[in-house]
Structure 1
Amino acid sequence: MKELNVILSDFLRQHFYNIPLESPLFYNSSVGLRFELGMPNRGVEHASYFTNILLRSIMIFREIFDTDEQMLITIKRFRCIEPYKCSNQGEEVFPKYMKDKELIKQVSSIELKKHYEENGDLSGITYQHILLCNIKSIDYIGILKAKAHQDFAIEPYISDEVFFINLHKHIIFYMYDDRGMDLISESKGALLPIYEKYNSWILAYDKERIDNIFMS
């Protein structure tokens, strides 16, 4: 079997014209959806704020991933050379959110980029971690909940970028924080049912662009 980083690279090249797997994912793709997760006009002081985020993200996630279907989870994590300088790192996704802890042996990790201070000193390194698994072997609900908390440092929280990739449907799911979520695909047909079913959740700022994609 190919190494997971090769599978990911081949997938992005064949289906997404080799776009960068990074935020803002929606603007990197010609076909995509951007959903608002937090309740409009309601602040984080309301208990229902995070409840609504989790509900919306889970509902859309389950539209994309079937129980026994394999997916790639890709994590981008920045590590400080001097950890005390990075106070908002959050929890590591692997192995924290693995239901099957044996899967940690199957995680593929590579160094993506070195970061330097203005004086030339190394400040940190961005790593990419990839796992091939299915819904039953990962606590995806826990991951979505922790992503919603990232800007508030509410435990538990994840500050890493987490991409869920459906290799069969050619859809990438990316929740960037409590504000919203991006879905992209190589064809609008794969996302059209989600566009129609959850149309009222589409982020108003990008709705005109999205409508032009799916109504043309």
Structure 2
Amino acid sequence: MNVMNYLNERFPTLKLVPSIYYQWDIGIHLSLAREIYQFTENDELNLKLFRLVYKQISTIFDELFEQNDDLFLVTNVYKHKIKDKRTRKLKVYQRFLKSKIHLNRIQVKVFPYPFESDEAEEYEMQQFSLLCRREDLRINELLKAASNEDFPLKPKFGGYSIDYPDVFFVNITKDIIFFVYDDRGCEVIALEANRIRSLYEKYYDWVEEVDRERIERGLG
């Protein structure tokens, strides 16, 4: 099985790009470290915020993924077709896989650049995917790297200068997709509402009021 076959079967209208919450009826958008600013009064990074973000996304992940769940670790890399001819190291799989034995099973597919831009035709998206299990991954470090997108913190994913890589966790055992877009929040979608209803109820306070009506309509 590859990730495209899986998505076509289970999430046929979905494009695995940011804002999956807005593409699918059954989903939750959670805000992270609400009411805490990224910088202190001295214009230094507020590490208290990032520690809370790391804790929250780890908590959410633990609610959605068990050790033996099968999943696709999917990474979207955005690059200029000509200027970025030289391949840069993608610091996702080598760094965050517990065993290098999985590296030869990574699949890659090239797509058009998915975001609106006057120069969109000059760019492309490379989508890497690996079928593995949660226990194969250094999950906490992966989640930290996803939330560190806009700040000089480690770990980082690397990639090209045009855009930071996007990483999706696709749980094919439970038909759930989890995406941390940066330190501000994350998105969860599911094939069946009962898979994520308890997550919404348990972490209701992490949901912005403006999102609640839409979420509750999808969860039934």
* Offset at residue 53 of structure 1 (A): 0.5
Q: Is residue 34 of structure 2 the alignment partner of residue 39 of structure 1?
A: yes
CA RMSD in angstroms comes to 2.6
| TM-score under structure 1 length normalisation | 0.84
* Offset at residue 156 of structure 1 (A): 2.6
Aligned pairs for 1:55-74 within 5 A: 55-74=55-74
* Offset at residue 35 of structure 1 (A): 0.5
Aligned pairs for 1:193-208 within 5 A: 193-208=198-213
* Offset at residue 134 of structure 1 (A): 1.1
Tell me the alpha carbon deviations over residues 139-161 of structure 1, each in whole angstroms, 9 at most, x when there is no partner: 12111111111112433323211
* Partner secondary structure for residue 176 of structure 1: strand
Residues of 1 paired with 2:60 and 2:84: CA distance? 35
Q: How many residues align?
A: 204
Residues of 2 paired with 1:207 and 1:119: CA distance? 36
Structure 1: stretches of 5+ with no match in the other structure: none
* Partner secondary structure for residue 140 of structure 2: helix
AA at the equivalent of 1:82: K
* Offset at residue 70 of structure 1 (A): 1.4
Residues of 2 paired with 1:162 and 1:211: CA distance? 26
* Offset at residue 48 of structure 1 (A): 1.2
Tell me what 1:186 maps to.
191
CA 1:77–1:119 in 2, change beyond 3 Å: closer, same or farther?
closer
Q: Is residue 24 of structure 2 the alignment partner of residue 29 of structure 1?
A: yes
Structure 2: stretches of 5+ with no match in the other structure: 41-45, 158-163
CA 1:165–1:118 in 2, change beyond 3 Å: closer, same or farther?
closer
Residues of 2 paired with 1:140 and 1:15: CA distance? 24
Tell me the alpha carbon deviations over residues 68-98 of structure 1, each in whole angstroms, 9 at most, x when there is no partner: 22111111101334259xxxx9963121211
Tell me the alpha carbon deviations over residues 151-188 of structure 1, each in whole angstroms, 9 at most, x when there is no partner: 12433323211110111211000111111000001221
Aligned pairs for 1:59-98 within 5 A: 59-80=59-80, 81-83=82-84, 92-98=91-97
